[in-house]
Every structure is written in structure tokens, then in C-alpha cells.
Amino acid sequence: MSVGRRIGGPILGACVSDVVALVLSGGGGERVSVLSSERAVSAIPFGGKYRIIDFVLSNCRHSGVNRIGVLTQHAPTSLHDHIGSGRPWDLDARDRGVMILQPYLTRGTAGWYRGTADAIAQNWDLIRDLGCSRVLVLSGDHVYRMDYRALLEFHAASDATVTMGVTRVPAEETHRFGMVTVDGEGRVAGLIEKPDRAETPFASMGIYAFETAALGAALREGAVDLVADVLAPLARAPRGVRAFEFEGYWEDVGTIGSYYRASLDLVAARPRLALDDRSWPILTRDEERPPVRVGDGARIESSLISNGCRIAGTVVRSVLSPGAVVGADARIEDAVIFQDVVIERGAEVRRTIVDKFARIGEGATVGGPGTAGPRWLEGLVLVGKDGRVPADARIEPGVVVGVGARPEDFAPGLLRSGAQLANHTWYGEDE
Amino acid sequence: MRSSRYAFILAGGVGSRLCLLSERRAKPAVPFGGKYRIIDFTLSNCVNSGIFDIGVLTQYRPTSLNQHIGTGRAWDLDRSRGGVQILQPALGSIQSDWYQGTADAIYRNLIHLRRRRADQVLVLSGDHVYRMDYDVLYAFHLANRASVTVAVTEVPEDAVSHFGILEADPSGRVIGFQEKPRTSVSRLASMGVYLFDRISLVRWLAEDAGHSQSSHDFGKDLLPRLVARGEGVFAYRFADYWQDVGTLDSYYEANMAFLGDHPPLDPSDPDGVVHTQSADRPPVSFQAGARAGRSLIANGCRVSGTVERSVLFPGVSVAAGAVVRDSIVMHDTVIEREAVLDHAIVDKQVRIGAGVRLGVGSASTPNRACPEHLSSGLLLVGKSAELPDGLTVGRNARIGADVRAASITADVPAGGVVNGPDAMH
């Protein structure tokens, strides 16, 4: 089996300077429920202080890929806020830049993006005018650290019109991925979307290095989906598509289960994803927050706690974003807590993801062991942004508390497994 | 044309009473509060008060400060017009020389006022921890038609000898000024915050420059003279927290004051966020078996052992079995297994070997080298020092910067001194 590997030795600068990266961040991700009801999946917080898209933007920065377009469609406000002028990634410079490529109207035909290929096609004039000979397509929903220079070098040295990043996944997880069969020469022979079983161990990482001209030609045919309408035909063409194997940690965090497991993996004894490698820092829009304030009766173990947090209670195997507050005698276990969440005194929160600004009232009990509730939720509890869980409420495993839920939504103070509270969207009225 | 605002920040202080901490950096660059430098408070006060045009005057060991301020990006001071500029002593004109005193330092930089439209000039010290809205000071100054307004704060009676002490009449007009008096009826201390009417400032500085017997200092020379001859000097009483962290003991206590549930100043208060140059560090990682209580722990730290009543700056690692108690540990210091720190102030990038014990025994022997500053039981370890496994260090001891493990062959007794390879004293 000859699949491309990272190439040692010197890396040619010319290769990355001639590339524009397109980060696909348009997805609303039904599969992450309330976490993406007001933001794109790639804008979801991850690892305490980061957003998912930081991993890809940092990879670009450290790989020297300095021209980036981010394609957005679903709830892009958070992404706009986060990316801004691209300063945290040093992209706000004369010869670099990050552009948000949003859907737009013309007098002609353009409109909402109908698919990944359509999104690129609608921005093709702009992409082509950059004059780069290669286009690197990336997904904003994946968490990994990768030097794209190796893939681009590999691509430049081959005759293929496309090189795609692939990674080995366990046989029982093929249903989560686009699987890629590779022939004896390292060429892509087939693409199978989320099969229950596959002959191949290789999953597509959603990373494609295209020859610009070839991508442009394929898009002119009215392509909608990048895999079905562009890659599959190109794989059948004479020059074909090559596979490049990436051997490091890579995770698609686009479902609640994978997001949760990837988060808790960060607090395992040996995390598979290093956040503390000073040679490859994950860059983000850092909020100016004071150091973590640990109170007198606090107990914190196997956890990641971000600046601005104030901890008086117990936190075990959890990830806390900046500004989260844990009151005295509260207990947080196996949980993921976003920015500025307040867990009041005596509350217990287990196997739960709590979104920004939510508040868990005094003595409330949220989540616990087991997989009750809808299957996709895997027994977790999700508390949407700005949700207010009243004091002493009890929420069983497998419950979704909608965005902006109000105390009166919890009528008898108990939410049984499977309950899903509706979202209350905030339109500027007073709280 | 509307007047704009301009501030000078005096950041050249030697800070000799901070001993090792300011041996290799100016006092305003000394780390404070778990992730800040002392000057961050003054710089943040400026931007939070809408002052985005600032000159920082440096002289003593400015490298660390220059690096910290950089382009001023952390404070939104990297601007096309205005922003922050480092004003170093320079050669090249008749007024060129080292800065003789605070007034002289401003005098030599009056050129920077020439093309600015500031009708008032704010002169600040980069040495203090406080949060102040300078807007209120401007309003007070203008309402009183003052020539100069000095911000003052009340200090305890036994502290008057450390400060410039002002006496004011009920209208706020200053009628007496003594620099560091032994005793005084007034307890109003100058905070090192002066708002000058620009025209008066230029005239007074030129006049002071001509006095051969003057030490060219605002507190020692200029202000007492102005008060004595009845110029419009006013005192603005500031009632909130203000801390001069000029001594090791006050530095230590000021840091510890930030540990409680009610710190004297909340650096994340949306009305006055304290900004600093933050490195890209991951969240604090607490490992299995970690214990922490009543502490400030910054991003990038990794805690496997125990941390109590301590301040840990970014990137400190505390190995399993190690105990950090009542201590201040700066950036990227590594504390190996079973080491114990008690009342230690440890500078950046120090390696504390396994089983090292810092701060044992009695506090009654002051430090041999600086007995007047290091006698309350704290001990100091300088930047990048290496402490060999199993070393014991007594209280009030001082271990110099860059000391190599191999050069420490015996335990360090209370009050002991181990000098680094290029000790300054």
C-alpha cells in the first residue's frame, strides 16, 4: 500500500505562497443541537479558550498559508466576531488576509449556497483573481494540528489534479466518515459516504489540494457537492486524485458525541491533542481575563480551567471556558462549561455541556450516568446559551434545555430523560 | 480646535528596594498579580480613560519593558496617529544626557508636545497598582482652573516618610508640600499622578532646568517651590485602592491581597479591564491528584501537586508531590517532585529541583546582602536560577539570577546569599 506520507527535508516556500485556503464553515450542524442554534459549528468553543476553527486557522498560520477565505452561511455572527480582521493569526497584514465569503445576491442567479461546491463556485471570480495556482479546501469543523506544507509538497511532486488528506479510523467508526479506497499506487479508487462497513481504513479528512484550473473547470459543470460532483469525477479522470496519509490526531467534532469525547480527551492522563506545544500554539482571539481564581474550599482535578474562571467548589474531569464561576459546594464532573456560565452554590452538574451565559441555580442537579433519552444525545444534558436552570431543579440524563430557557419552563422542577425545552430567542427586549 | 490628551509615563525607576526582582528590569516591568506587569495598570488606566497618545520614559534596564510594551497592541495603542512611544535618554542635541530627575526627564522630552494639541499634560508614574479614571481628574483640574493638579491618597501615619505629603485647604488648594517628611500633620500622599496646564509646565520646567542646585525632581524640587510661591496647585483626593509596591514586603502583600474573594481591584471589571501582553497559552491544566486553594493561577500552568495561598504566573509547572505555599512564582518556572516552597518569591524560568525545600527555619536572621529589604521571612530566587535536587534554603535568603545547580554545593542558611555569575552588587 503506498500512500503519501509526510516528507522530510527542506520545505519550499514557493509552494505555500502560491496557495489560497478555503475553509468551509457554513454548516449549521443539526447534529450539535442547541450548541449551533445561534452559531456556526466552527465557532463552537473547544478546549476551554478556543473555538473549533482556531485549529484550522492556526494550522494555516504555522504552515505559512496566509491567504484564507472562510465560507459561511449558517449563523455567522460569532464567526465574524471571532475572526475579525484576523489579527490573532497575524492575518491582518498587507500580503496576507482572511476574507469571510458569505452568500450574496446578484441580479443574476446567485443566492444561498446549495452545497460545498456551489459555495466555492459562487465565489470563484474572487478566488481565481487571487492568481494562486492551488486551492486548499479545508473544513472548519475539525480539530487537529497539521503542517499543510507536507501535503502541498507531496501534491506538487505528483501529477494528480487533487491530493486529499486521509487518516486511518477504526473499522467500527466508518459510518461517521467518507471512506476512501486507495489503489496500489496511492491513487484514490473510490469514495464511499458513511458506510457501515468498509474495505479501507482511510477516512477523508475533508482536506483537498486542488490545481486551481482543474477545480475551476469542474465547477463550471454546475457542481453542488464537492465530493459527489467534483472529487468523484476527478478520481475517474486520467490524472486522478491522490491520497496523502496524515498520522497525527484528527477529529471531526461535528456531532454531540464526538464533540464531547474530544473535549474530555483533553483532560485524560495522556491527551492525544497537545494544546501546550510552544512550537505550534493554538492561536485564538484571547479575551483579557485575570488568572484563574481558586477559592478556599476548591478542589480541582484532571481539568482544564481557563483564565477568568473563579472556582470555589469541586471540578473533576471537566473543561471550563473563560469566566466560568463555580460556587462553593458545587460539583462539576465530566462536564464542558462555556464562557461566563455560573454554577451556583451546591449545584451538581455531570455529563453536561453548558453553553455561554447560562446559569445553574443553587442546589440544582443536572445530568448523570446512563444513556437515557434520544440516541444521538448519548445520555448527555445540553443547556443552551443564556438558559436559566432554577434552584433545586432536577434534570435527568438525555435532556436538551433550549437557548434562553426560563425558570418557568421547568414547571415542576423536574425534567425527565428525553425532554427538550424550546429555544427562546432574544430580540433585544429587556431581560 | 479641540484639545487632545497626552500622557507621559515615568518608567525609569531603579526600584532598588525590590532587590533581585528589579535587578534586571525596571520596576514598572516587574510581574504582578499572576499575569500583569506593574505598568499595565497605568497603561490600562490611560486607554480606559480615552488617552491613546502616550510617551513612556525609560532609562534603567529598559529591555524587559520595551519587550513588554512592543507596538502597544495589547492596549490598542498600535495606532497610525498617537499610540505609545518609548522615550529613551538620547544624545544629539544640547539637551542630551541621562535623565537627572523626573522633572528633567520630562524637560528633555518637551519636544514631543510641540506638534500635539494637548492643553494639559498628564504625567504619571509607572510604579503603582490602582485603577483611576483620569477623566475625573481632568474635570476637577478644569473646574478649579488649576495650574497643576496632584492626585493624593490618604496613607497611614507611619507611612508618611515614604511619600511626598501635601497639605490642602478645604477648597483643595495645596498649601504645603514636603517630600518624605519624618512626621506630618497631613496624611495626604502624592500618588505620582500630575495633571499640568501645558503652558505652566513648559515655563516651570525651563525655569527648574536653570536652577543649578535643583535635583530636577517633581517631588523634591518643583512642587514644593510652586506651593511655596502660591501657584495654582490643587490636590485631587482619590479614595479607591492605590498601592505603591516599592518594597519587597509591600510587593508581596499587594499580590496576596488579590487572592481573597474580594480583591481590592477587579482586573476584569468591564469599566476598567486591565490589559497586558498575553502569550498564547492553553488553559490551566490540573492533573489527577492536584490540590489548589486560595490562589491565582494563570493560563499555561500545569498543576499536579499542591498550591495554597499563592500566585502562579503563566507556564509554571508544579510536579506531583510538590507543595507551593504562600508564594509568588513567575513565568515558566519548573517545580520538580516533592519540592516545597514556603514564602518564596521565585522569578521567571527558574528550575527548582526535586525535594528542594525553600523557606525553612526561623525568620529572625535578615539577609546578609540587603538586610533592610529582606528581613520579614520571604526568600528570593532570581531569574533562570537552577536549584539542585534536595537543596534546603532558609528564610530571608537570596539566590541570584542564573545561578547554576553545580555551583551550589551546600544548603543556604537563613539570610544567606548565593550570587549569580554576574551579580550586580
pLDDT higher than threshold 90 for residue A75: no
pLDDT by residue (tens digit) across B342-369? 999 999 999 999 999 999 989 999 999 9
The mean pLDDT of chain A is 90
- 3-class SS letters over chain A: CCCECCCCCCCCHHHHHCEEEEEECCCCCHHHHHHHCCCCHHHCEECCCEECHHHHHHHHHHHCCCEEEEECCCCCHHHHHHHCCCHHHCCCCCCCEEEEECCCCCCCCCCCCCCHHHHHHHCHHHHHHCCCCEEEEEECCEEECCCHHHHHHHHHHCCCCEEEEEEECCHHHHHHCEEEEECCCCEEEEEEECCCCCCCCEEEEEEEEEEHHHHHHHHCCCCCCHHHHHHHHHHHCCCCEEEEECCCCEEECCCHHHHHHHHHHCCCCCCCCCCCCCCCCCCCCCCCCCCEEECCCCEEECEEECCCCEECCEEECCEECCCCEECCCCEEECCEECCCCEECCCCEEECEEECCCCEECCCCEECCCCCCCCHHHCCCEEECCCCEECCCCEECCCEEECCCCCHHHHCCCEECCCCECCCCCCCCCCC
pLDDT by residue (tens digit) across A387-404? 999 999 999 999 999 999
The mean pLDDT of chain B is 92
State how far residue B263 is from chain A, nearest Cα, in angstroms: 10
Taking contacts as CB-CB distances below 8 angstroms, the residues of chain B near A307 are 35, 283-284, 298-299
User: Between B276, B294, B311, which is nearest A295 by CB?
Assistant: B294
- Does residue A145 sit at the B interface (CB-CB below 8 Å)? no
Q: How many CA atoms lie within 13 A of A386 on its CB side?
A: 13
pLDDT by residue (tens digit) across B295-308? 999 999 999 999 99
Task: Report the pLDDT value the prediction gives residue B95, as an integer from 0 to 100.
Answer: 63
C-alpha cell at B38: 506593574
End-to-end CA distance of chain A: 61
Same domain (yes/no): A102, A20: yes
Taking contacts as CB-CB distances below 8 angstroms, the residues of chain B near A290 are 33-35, 266-268, 274, 296
Could you say which DSSP state residue B173 is in? B
CB A67 within 8 A of CB A97: yes
User: Between A48, A291, A319, which is nearest B297 by CB?
Assistant: A291
- Does residue A288 sit at the B interface (CB-CB below 8 Å)? yes
Cα A268 to the chain's mean position, in Å? 20
Determine the average pLDDT of the residues in B216-235: 94
Same domain (yes/no): A227, A148: yes
State how far residue B123 is from chain A, nearest Cα, in angstroms: 26
Same domain (yes/no): A76, A157: yes
Is B296 in contact with A290 (Cβ distance < 8 A)? Answer: yes
For an interface test with B, the pick among A307, A309, A314, A321 (most B C-beta atoms closer than 10 Å) comes out as: A307
- Does residue A49 sit at the B interface (CB-CB below 8 Å)? yes
Under an 8 Å CB criterion, which residues of B touch A?
33-35, 259, 261, 266-268, 273-276, 278, 280-300, 302, 307, 311-313
Is B299 in contact with A294 (Cβ distance < 8 A)? Answer: no
Is A48 in contact with B275 (Cβ distance < 8 A)? Answer: no
Could you say which DSSP state residue B273 is in? P
> Ranked by mean pLDDT, which of A32-36, B289-293, B370-374 comes out on top?
B289-293
> Ranked by mean pLDDT, which of B89-98, B205-214, B324-333 comes out on top?
B324-333
pLDDT by residue (tens digit) across A99-137? 888 888 877 766 888 899 999 998 998 898 888 999 999
Is A284 in contact with B280 (Cβ distance < 8 A)? Answer: yes
State how far residue A333 is from chain B, nearest Cα, in angstroms: 13
Is A306 in contact with B284 (Cβ distance < 8 A)? Answer: yes
Is B282 in contact with A48 (Cβ distance < 8 A)? Answer: yes
Same domain (yes/no): A59, A205: yes
Same domain (yes/no): A87, A142: yes
A-B Cβ pairs (cutoff 8 Å, strict): 110
pLDDT higher than threshold 80 for residue A233: yes
- Does residue A94 sit at the B interface (CB-CB below 8 Å)? no
Determine the average pLDDT of the residues in B47-57: 95
- Does residue A284 sit at the B interface (CB-CB below 8 Å)? yes
CA–CA separation, B320 and A37 (whole Å): 42
Same domain (yes/no): A221, A350: no
Same domain (yes/no): A334, A222: no
pLDDT by residue (tens digit) across B10-35? 998 777 778 888 888 889 999 999 99
Task: Report the pLDDT value the prediction gives residue A3, as an integer from 0 to 100.
Answer: 47
> Ranked by mean pLDDT, which of A174-183, A266-275, A313-322 comes out on top?
A313-322
C-alpha cell at B322: 510538590
Confidence of residue A36 (pLDDT cuts 50, 70, 90): confident
pLDDT by residue (tens digit) across A240-276? 999 999 999 999 998 899 999 999 999 999 999 999 9
- Does residue A319 sit at the B interface (CB-CB below 8 Å)? yes
Look at residue A297 and tell me if it is in a domain: yes
pLDDT higher than threshold 70 for residue A427: no
pLDDT by residue (tens digit) across B168-178? 999 999 999 99
Domain at B285-418, CATH from 3.40.50.1820, 3.30.1490.20, 2.160.10.10, 1.10.3720.10 = 2.160.10.10
Q: Tell me which residue range forms the domain holding A81.
A: 13-265
Confidence of residue B93 (pLDDT cuts 50, 70, 90): low
Task: Report the pLDDT value the prediction gives residue B99, as an integer from 0 to 100.
Answer: 82
Same domain (yes/no): A252, A360: no
Task: Report the pLDDT value the prediction gives residue A100, as an integer from 0 to 100.
Answer: 87
pLDDT higher than threshold 60 for residue A342: yes
- Does residue A305 sit at the B interface (CB-CB below 8 Å)? yes
Cα A300 to the chain's mean position, in Å? 27
CB B33 within 8 A of CB A290: yes
Closest CA to B66 of B111, B98, B28: B28
Residue of A9 and A119 predicted with greater confidence:
A119
Could you say which DSSP state residue B90 is in? B
State how far residue A292 is from chain B, nearest Cα, in angstroms: 5
Task: Report the pLDDT value the prediction gives residue A11, as an integer from 0 to 100.
Answer: 42
- Please give the single-letter amino acid code of residue A180: V
CATH superfamily placement of domain B6-257:
Spore Coat Polysaccharide Biosynthesis Protein SpsA; Chain A (3.90.550.10)
- Does residue A301 sit at the B interface (CB-CB below 8 Å)? yes
Task: Report the pLDDT value the prediction gives residue B23, as an integer from 0 to 100.
Answer: 82
Task: Report the pLDDT value the prediction gives residue B64, as an integer from 0 to 100.
Answer: 87
State how far residue B38 is from chain A, nearest Cα, in angstroms: 14
Total domains in chain A come to 2
Same domain (yes/no): A365, A234: no
Same domain (yes/no): A72, A221: yes
Look at residue A421 and tell me if it is in a domain: no
Determine the average pLDDT of the residues in A65-81: 89
CA–CA separation, A233 and A51 (whole Å): 34
CA–CA separation, A264 and A256 (whole Å): 12
- Does residue A102 sit at the B interface (CB-CB below 8 Å)? no
CATH of the domain at A137: 3.90.550.10
State how far residue B407 is from chain A, nearest Cα, in angstroms: 30
Taking contacts as CB-CB distances below 8 angstroms, the residues of chain B near A282 are 280, 282
State how far residue B70 is from chain A, nearest Cα, in angstroms: 15
- Give me the percent of chain B exceeding a pLDDT of 90: 77
Determine the average pLDDT of the residues in A160-176: 95
CA–CA separation, B194 and B191 (whole Å): 8
Residues of chain B with CATH 3.90.550.10: 6-257
C-alpha cell at A355: 453553553
Same domain (yes/no): A212, A328: no
- ipTM of this complex: 0.89
Q: Provide CB contacts within 8 A for B75, sequence distance 6+.
A: B43, B44, B46, B47, B84, B275
Task: Report the pLDDT value the prediction gives residue A422, as an integer from 0 to 100.
Answer: 85
Task: Report the pLDDT value the prediction gives residue A110, as an integer from 0 to 100.
Answer: 65
Same domain (yes/no): A215, A178: yes
pLDDT by residue (tens digit) across B135-167? 999 999 999 999 999 999 999 999 999 899 999
CATH of the domain at A373: 2.160.10.10
